[in-house]
Amino acid sequence: MATSRFVGYLESRKNIAGSAGGLVGLVLTFTGVAGPYWPVVVAGLYGAGALVAPPERPPLPDFPDASAQLDEVRGDFERLGGYLAEVELPPAAAGRLTELTGLLAALLEPGWVAEILARDPEGVHTLSRTVRQDLPEAVDSFVRTRWWTRMTPGQEPPERHLERQLTLLQEEAERLTAELRETEAGRQESHTRYLEDRSP
């Protein structure tokens, strides 16, 4: 540990700048400018160089980029599809779920749409939250509540909450789709303006 720190210091900016200052001190010594105080001059210039050198900047953590995150969400979505296939839902909720998962599948499909989405970290986060948290929680809470409702009839049907939750998730996915479309439309308009400005 101590050896690695020592080697690290030898390669550091502070040591390089300090060594450059010390070298200037040696030049002053050999030219007779420093006189009998040359050790103080050399040490002082080394210290000054080390002080003015910029501090070492530790490397940033290597977090996965948005494309890698999207690949992980795609894999989680496939696992979620296996879970949803085993759940029996009322027809209305099943229809809403089909619409929602179809839209999510289209957004996650590898290709140019996913490439656009990968450039939108907030969009990736929204999609990830839907796939990993909101959608499985909505379906699982319905399954659990439905069992209790059978034990105590007369309560509000849990499918109403499920249908409302699926509707809200569908609306959120549609907003994300609209934002991505607006991004592409803005890109197209920018290119049109660029070509117009370039015309004589």
- 91 vs 94: CA distance, rounded Å: 5
Return d(Cα 3, Cα 21) in angstroms, integer. 24
Torsion of CA 83, 87, 92, 93, to 10 degrees: -50
What are the tokens at 166? 């699926």
For 159-182, what is each residue's pLDDT tens digit?
899 999 999 999 999 999 999 888
pTM, 2 dp:
0.65
16-43 confidence digits (pLDDT tens): 776 777 777 677 667 766 667 667 666 7
Name the band, by pLDDT with cuts 50, 70 and 90, for residue 66. low
Nearest to 83 by CA among 124, 125, 137: 137
At 25, which helix (H) or strand (E)? helix 13-30
Instruction: Give the C-alpha separation, 69 to 124, whole Å.
Output: 8
Q: Is the pLDDT of residue 52 over 70?
A: no
Q: With 70 as the cut, is the pLDDT of residue 78 above it? A: yes
Which residue do the tokens 């049109």 mark? 192
Q: Percentage of the chain with pLDDT > 90?
A: 34
Query: Angle CA(159)–CA(164)–CA(168) in degrees, nearest 5?
Result: 145
Reply yes or no on whether the pLDDT at 105 is more than 80: yes
| Digit-coded pLDDT (tens) for 88-102 | 999 999 999 999 999
pLDDT band at 63 (very low <50, low <70, confident <90, very high): low
